[in-house]
C-alpha cells in the first residue's frame, strides 16, 4: 500500500479517533497531519511498515497522549473542558447536548490507557493491533477492555439517571 492509499484509508478514522480523545477540531487536524507526516518520513526513508494500520494508530495514540500530558490538567478539569467542548459542538446542539456531555465526562474519568483502548475498540482494531498501539500485552487486552467498558457503562448510566 502506498502513502496516498494509506492516507485516503486512514486519515478520517485517525481524525475521528483524535477528535474523540482530544475533543478539539483543530488539535485533531494537527494530530492527523503530524501522524501522516511521520508516516511519510518513514516511508520516504525506505523503512518497511509491516502492519500499517496498527503502526498509524500507534503513532496517533502516542501523539494524543503527549498532547493530553502537555495540557497538564487533572481529570476533573479535563472533564469540564470536554463538557465545555460539547456545549460548542453543533452536533451536540442538534442531538442531545446533555447526552454528549455525559459521555465525554465519563470517558474523561477513565484512565488514559483505558480511554485510548476503548476508542481503538470503537475503530474496530483487532486485539493484536490494540496491543501494538498501546503497548499492552495482547493477552491482557480482553481483561482491560471488558473492565473499561463496564466502568464506562456504569458511569454513563449513573450520569443519565441523575
Query: What is the binding site for another protein (CB under 8 A)?
Result: 3, 7, 11-12, 15-16, 19-20, 23, 25, 28-29, 32-33, 36-37, 40-41, 44, 89-92, 95-96, 99-100, 103-104, 107, 118-119, 121-122, 126-127, 141-143, 145-147, 149-150, 152-153, 156
Least gap, CB of 100 to another protein (angstroms): 5
Q: How many residues does the chain have?
A: 162
Cell 447536548 belongs to 97
Q: Least Å distance between CB 62 and another protein?
A: 19
Query: Which is nearer to another protein, 28 or 136 (by Cβ)?
Result: 28
Q: Least Å distance between CB 29 and another protein?
A: 7
Q: Which residues contact 111 (CB under 8 A, 6 or more apart)?
A: none
Q: Which residues contact 69 (CB under 8 A, 6 or more apart)?
A: none
Minimum separation from the CB atom of position 162 to another protein (A): 16
Amino acid at each position: 500500500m502506498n502513502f496516498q492509499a494509506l492516507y485516503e484509508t486512514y486519515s478520517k478514522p485517525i481524525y475521528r479517533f483524535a477528535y474523540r480523545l482530544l475533543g478539539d477540531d483543530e488539535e485533531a487536524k494537527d494530530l492527523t497531519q503530524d501522524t501522516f507526516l511521520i508516516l511519510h518520513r518513514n516511508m520516504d526513508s525506505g523503512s518497511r511498515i509491516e502492519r500499517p494500520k496498527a503502526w498509524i494508530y500507534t503513532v496517533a495514540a502516542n501523539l494524543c497522549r503527549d498532547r493530553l500530558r502537555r495540557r497538564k490538567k487533572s481529570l476533573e478539569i479535563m472533564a469540564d473542558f470536554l463538557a465545555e467542548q460539547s456545549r460548542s459542538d453543533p452536533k451536540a446542539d442538534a442531538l442531545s447536548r446533555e447526552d454528549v456531555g455525559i459521555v465525554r465526562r465519563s470517558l474523561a474519568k477513565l484512565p488514559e490507557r483505558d480511554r485510548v483502548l476503548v476508542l481503538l475498540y470503537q475503530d474496530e482494531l483487532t486485539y493484536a493491533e490494540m496491543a501494538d498501539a498501546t503497548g499492552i500485552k495482547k493477552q491482557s487486552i480482553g481483561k482491560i477492555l471488558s473492565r473499561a467498558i463496564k466502568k464506562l457503562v456504569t458511569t454513563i448510566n449513573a450520569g443519565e439517571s441523575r
